[in-house]
Structure 1
């Protein structure tokens, strides 16, 4: 159970005596562990008039703004405090900086500067920098950096760490490096972690690993940052290998580590490793929060074990909307279209409400099941009943549904009437449907958009060549292939992954770098001969 106010410094003796002399406040410090407990004590404080005291009000505020509390309740408490002191301002700003609405932390900080006589202190700025980092507003954070320098607080290590984090998290690596290099040996693990995370986020994964290896001291966050960085950059095997190193160092992983590993297994299709991670989560008694359960469901779905995903989903009925979405998407992509639609209907009748991801899942189910009319109904339902503004992904799903069913004119009209500009993917989807149904005229218009939007990609020319070839216009088909060579466009080779005896093997089209290539290709040639003989 979380202990109340464990992150706060001990009180001065005078305040400690004041609290001990008040039974309600004493209960607040020793017995309050949930919001229900707090509300009862808060009501008693109001009834006795003690809430008017700044010390009492601050303690109520502190709990409600903590991770165990309710930030909205904290906001309500704060607005009822007359002349809040620095402690109260710091508590509410910090609470919102780590909430889902960090912009409110910045607004409160501005209110503090403009409307109060309280000056920010060294504990105020880190929360504001964190809020800027969460919002990706490092350009605004620069102005706050200037204020910190004017106040002579730029050498404060706590503040410097959060500034490094802000710049690194927002991709301003030159600014982050400048601060990091000035006193590198004096910076603590927080700054190192911020740089490792920031570099990985910007795609500098090798530099991130170099810095990670250079760290004199690492904590769980360090390992999580590097592992999640590998996953973010598509280096899934490296993520799994690093986790083995983490275990070798006897570092206790967190649920964030597990989520990254599950994502890696999902992308690799590594069901054996994924099951091991799931078993590890259960054996180590990790808290099965919404994020972790969603990752487990997603892993099983992407590895093709829908039954196991459903079992996990049913075991945690209060998993949240993300679990429903992962299950609907998983069913839709694994050939279980009717089950996906039924689950979506259950979602509608539950206490939850479908969001834009839910509709992507059900539209995908309609696409794979060839259910055009139902897709049209869901698209209307999304906009009319739930007031969800369609994204490019929703439009792409509808174009896929219509295109695959042969409604090419309607699909093209949908793209041209969208309130947002179509991308190369959605026009490529229409082009692919034209190849399937042999519509050269619409294909010509579609390929023009594909090439304009992504001139360095060869797929548009290849698809157009296939359209011409399907219509026996072979000269035009050859011209499209020649254009690929003239423009020196290279098609990225296909890649597939297979798990054998718990080990993931990667095969690239035309590649011979696999260590067992000499043994594999003779077998493939034999299989090819057998298939040709059977034909």
Structure 2
């Protein structure tokens, strides 16, 4: 864990002395900056026969499970090799998984602890479990744990109470969250922030703002970020940027997360002007252009159609490019008419000894859709499964169905769909139906239409596409019957919609519609 031992040329340290001295344990813990250091120390412990030393392994476990530089999978490996884990070890691994991408593992470990271990949980165990339920959005299951906490007389512990409130608020159970919130007589910053988060996620933006304003000077960066994010979620881009200005006026320093929220908002809403302004603000105020920020900037420019600006940032920040940045650039190129460049960039990624993930392959398959490169698409699909052992998702299968269908390889599409380990969705059957229309395959179209209607009886696309297939085959009576059947079942075609930005506010319009309350005013601005 200490940086000096990362060099094999330096003298061998006395591990026994190292782990027997508490001062040196603290030094060891503080100076371990990477998993590479930790693995070397772990190897030394195994070599010297001290791999079962409780104190040393507990420190290693804590680093792997909780540190930002840790590795939860390695932590679990360490944990499984502890013969009789103590309460600290159980709490550490549960806490680690509650903060990971697999929070359900924290819950299963807790059950294992109750059933197969003589160790009983303490009050420090429960906050992590409620956080895991919050991440999963499963407050209805977490409520059973809440009942257990009440039986144990721990419901008034502030840490546990805050975690329960956060679980309910984050999962949209606002009534339950509000009951706990109202029971707090003194100001509880974590509870206030949790309620703001819950209201923002549930779209209750006015109520959220009232609570936010009620905090006054006690608002933290988390409070501001949550409120800004709430406005973005509601499509109120102008309000989000105005709040950001208020944040600056009150001299609350924005964090990297604040700026990423605004960049992602600009990307989702296609607001290039606002996105460029945020990029400029980052540069002028000397914010660190780390991999997260660079990815957000590239993604924003790609989604706003400014592909040349995205290219420039991507190539200038070669040392800051995480895989997510490569993915954003590949997908951005594929969706902005630069399909061959997207494929070249994928090849560059692979040749630089970086390992693509499922999103990378989604990007390169998207490029193949627009170019019609059937052979390349087949190769990428096999490469993903065989070399990188990535299980294709429904999105990957959807890409392949569209590529093969466009090329008229309908028998191959049928074979692919029948071999899928997951159930095809409406999008896949709809793609096949569109291909059948294009290539006049009536029998396969009927098969696809049946599945569209089975999955969603009220889905209009199956009826419309099948009607078009009949019409393309010259069977106009059958085409009319499809339209009549739609009317009989009161199924209407969903209107096309457009989003435009007016004074920083995103407005939605439907084809031929007059539902937007500002439609007359906005039309006069044209």
TM-score (norm 1): 0.78
In structure 2, relative to structure 1, the CA distance for the partners of 1:469 and 1:235 (3 Å cut) is farther
Which residue is 2:143 aligned to?
142
Q: Do the aligned partners of 2:467 and 2:480 also contact (CA within 8 Å) in 1? A: yes
Equivalent residues in 2 for 1:265-280 (5 A)?
265-280=266-281
400-409 or 211-220: bigger deviation: 211-220
- Once residues 402 and 141 of structure 2 are traced to their aligned partners in structure 1, the CA distance between those partners, rounded to angstroms, is 42
Deviation at 1:372, TM superposition (A): 1.2
- Once residues 424 and 83 of structure 2 are traced to their aligned partners in structure 1, the CA distance between those partners, rounded to angstroms, is 53
500-509 or 367-376: bigger deviation: 500-509
In structure 2, relative to structure 1, the CA distance for the partners of 1:233 and 1:450 (3 Å cut) is farther
Equivalent residues in 2 for 1:111-150 (5 A)?
120-150=121-151
- What SS is found at the alignment partner of 2:421? coil
Which residue is 1:34 aligned to?
33
- Once residues 450 and 50 of structure 1 are traced to their aligned partners in structure 2, the CA distance between those partners, rounded to angstroms, is 61
Aligned residue-pair number: 499
Q: Do the aligned partners of 1:71 and 1:99 also contact (CA within 8 Å) in 2? A: no
- What SS is found at the alignment partner of 1:515? helix
Deviation at 1:498, TM superposition (A): 4.7
Q: Do the aligned partners of 2:238 and 2:503 also contact (CA within 8 Å) in 1? A: no
- Once residues 392 and 103 of structure 1 are traced to their aligned partners in structure 2, the CA distance between those partners, rounded to angstroms, is 22
Equivalent residues in 2 for 1:98-109 (5 A)?
98-103=99-104, 105-106=106-107, 109=110
Which residue is 1:428 aligned to?
430
Of residues 331, 336, 361, the one that matches 1:329 is 331
Q: Which runs of 5+ in 2 are unaligned?
A: 1-18
In structure 2, relative to structure 1, the CA distance for the partners of 1:518 and 1:276 (3 Å cut) is closer
Deviation at 1:160, TM superposition (A): 0.5
Deviations 1:281-322 (A, max 9, x none): 333344444433322221111111222222222314453222
Deviation at 1:484, TM superposition (A): 3.8
45-54 or 297-306: bigger deviation: 45-54
In structure 2, relative to structure 1, the CA distance for the partners of 1:249 and 1:446 (3 Å cut) is farther
In structure 2, relative to structure 1, the CA distance for the partners of 1:342 and 1:195 (3 Å cut) is same
Q: Do the aligned partners of 1:28 and 1:41 also contact (CA within 8 Å) in 2? A: no
- Once residues 55 and 206 of structure 1 are traced to their aligned partners in structure 2, the CA distance between those partners, rounded to angstroms, is 51
- Once residues 41 and 417 of structure 2 are traced to their aligned partners in structure 1, the CA distance between those partners, rounded to angstroms, is 58
In structure 2, relative to structure 1, the CA distance for the partners of 1:372 and 1:237 (3 Å cut) is farther
- Once residues 46 and 381 of structure 1 are traced to their aligned partners in structure 2, the CA distance between those partners, rounded to angstroms, is 38
Deviations 1:338-376 (A, max 9, x none): 111111122222333222212211111111001112212
Which residue is 1:524 aligned to?
none
- Once residues 152 and 381 of structure 2 are traced to their aligned partners in structure 1, the CA distance between those partners, rounded to angstroms, is 55
Q: Which runs of 5+ in 1 are unaligned?
A: 1-18, 521-535
464-473 or 203-212: bigger deviation: 203-212
Q: Do the aligned partners of 1:269 and 1:302 also contact (CA within 8 Å) in 2? A: yes
In structure 2, relative to structure 1, the CA distance for the partners of 1:203 and 1:394 (3 Å cut) is farther
Q: Do the aligned partners of 2:385 and 2:392 also contact (CA within 8 Å) in 1? A: yes
- Once residues 362 and 121 of structure 1 are traced to their aligned partners in structure 2, the CA distance between those partners, rounded to angstroms, is 49
Deviation at 1:105, TM superposition (A): 4.2
- Once residues 116 and 410 of structure 2 are traced to their aligned partners in structure 1, the CA distance between those partners, rounded to angstroms, is 60
- Once residues 44 and 454 of structure 2 are traced to their aligned partners in structure 1, the CA distance between those partners, rounded to angstroms, is 68
- Once residues 370 and 502 of structure 1 are traced to their aligned partners in structure 2, the CA distance between those partners, rounded to angstroms, is 38
Which residue is 1:387 aligned to?
389
